[in-house]
Chains A and B, each alone.
Chain A
């Protein structure tokens, strides 16, 4: 350790006026005083400690807003998601299976049905049944080539459906090609046609 100049020591101790010191010692004195002031001041906190102190002092500024507002802010905040290609493909395949494959037994799985009827001279033919709550005007048959053969394709829920043709808006007629019939239960022996729709996925 190099010994300090006695004149500088005296100036630091306040026993000598720093202005009487030579130029080099006067500059050294000024640097030492500045350093001493830094050391003797309020200790500086680390950055993390200062941030935590700020949070503790102003919690409202960080947690401002209702839970709903915070949720909305969270939804709008951009995030970075890292995905592995294999997992991404597996996830996509799972979603496709859910969307494209039929539900379990009894679920609303649709099947395709073709209605055909021979009604020469008819002005209109429609199908009314349990698949459309027996509503008129929901499923009309067409005879574009005017050969008397009316037809329509429909996607219906899988399962059993009762139905009838309504010709010219007033005449209720069972489907002669249905193959299955059931008494309509209203006491006059009229029969509904019976249709069993299979799920599209079950058809070969």
Chain B
């Protein structure tokens, strides 16, 4: 009887044991780093944050043979970035639980160095649209030496004129082309030129 009871309890506990740790990380991450990474991912789950960016960061570190301590720090940095992103999303899109896709996209934008106020402004303009393309467009413009506020102004104008998703990336590409054009055009002149052509910015070339 006791043997049967122990067997039954063992069967019942098996799924719980299997849930410990992310199976995608087994064999891909140094064993010394696994417990810490598991606890970071568990914290993200408890806080309703997306976990895929953390899993990806751990897989990346394992593939690159990053030492365990730096790998754990990299994943922990990812968690902090997700928390910061959720605060921004909650402020920009009040009255609803921050969508995981928004939080992940904002986290990625922060990692690219996009200032939080610019992120918040762009989220506020289109709270119910996937924010990734607009945020990347802004990050592209800033990376090409455009003033952050002017870049956000241009993207808001583009959105108001009907451009969405990938077409916002085309706005950033058009601005960069204008800047590269000969004749010593300044960034503000390049932005003004693109604003004048909205919403008819060129489509990208096929790969």
Contacts and interface: CB of A to CB of B under 8 A. Distances in A.
Contact of A130 (B60, B111, B112, B139): B60
B86 to A, nearest CB: 18
Q: Is the interface of B mostly helix, strand, loop or mixed?
A: helix
Interface residues of A, number: 33
A172 B64 contact: yes
Interface of A: 105-106, 112-114, 128, 130, 133-136, 153, 159-160, 162, 172, 179-180, 182-188, 192, 194, 196, 198-199, 202-204
Contacts of B61: 186
Contact of A134 (B63, B108, B207): B63
Contacts, number: 75
Interface stretch (B8-16, B65-73, B115-123, B190-198): B65-73
Contacts of A184: 60, 64, 74
Contact of B169 (A128, A186, A187, A196): A196
Interface of B: 24, 56-57, 59-64, 66, 70-71, 73-74, 77-78, 101, 105, 108, 111-112, 129-130, 132-133, 136, 139-140, 143, 165-166, 169, 203-204, 206-207
Contacts of B74: 184-187
Contacts of A128: 63
A202 B64 contact: no
A136 B65 CA distance: 12
Contacts of A113: 207
